[in-house]
Amino acid sequence: MNPEPTQEFFCTAIGNIVAERPYGPGGEEIRTGTKHFRPGAKVYIIDWFPGTCSDVVVIGHHRKSNRPIKAIIKAKYIENLRVKNCYSLAAVRLIKEHQAIQPAPELTQEFAETLCQVLPHWR
């Protein structure tokens, strides 16, 4: 289904939550997904912390309530990075709220491509 021409969208980096990750002292335990997101969940990366880049701000559907949420997670828990347009009305609303509160970068094609190139190096 093609979006309407007047529908608002943002160009974002998109990724999926890793299936399994180490947890606990020494990474002895294996957990699936993260606290807030199921394994394989699609998340829109809308902000980062340049310099450290270990954490990113994402929007995705919560693991239990299935409502869209904004969360800060470790970049190493995201895989399969790519650039796409975000047409989701709930995600667009959360992006606007985030940009109104925080001085966030403008979500452009260039910014999304930069994220896709830089984030894998911080895994």
Residue 56 is assigned to a structural domain of this protein: yes
Residue 19 is assigned to a structural domain of this protein: yes
Residue 37 is assigned to a structural domain of this protein: yes
Write out the chain's pLDDT in tens, 123 residues. Answer: 565 556 788 899 999 999 988 888 988 898 889 999 999 999 999 988 877 768 999 999 999 998 999 999 999 999 999 999 999 899 999 999 988 887 777 888 888 888 888 887 666
CB 15 within 8 A of CB 79: yes
Q: What is the pLDDT of residue 44?
A: 95
Q: How far apart are CA 40 and CA 114, in angstroms?
A: 22
Q: How far apart are CA 39 and CA 43, in angstroms?
A: 11
Residue 54 is assigned to a structural domain of this protein: yes
Domain that holds residue 86: 12-122
**Tokens 């559907």 belong to which residue?**
61
Q: What is the pLDDT of residue 38?
A: 95
CB 68 within 8 A of CB 88: yes
Residue 1 is assigned to a structural domain of this protein: no
Residue 36 is assigned to a structural domain of this protein: yes
The number of domains in the chain is 1
Residue 5 is assigned to a structural domain of this protein: no
Q: What is the pLDDT of residue 64?
A: 92
Q: Would you call 69 exposed, middle or buried from its count of C-beta atoms within 10 A (0-12, 13-18, 19+)?
A: middle
Residue 103 is assigned to a structural domain of this protein: yes
For the chain, the distance separating the N- and C-terminal CA atoms, rounded to the nearest angstrom, is 35
Q: What is the DSSP letter of 76?
A: G
Q: Is the pTM of this model over 0.75?
A: yes
Q: How far apart are CA 57 and CA 120, in angstroms?
A: 15
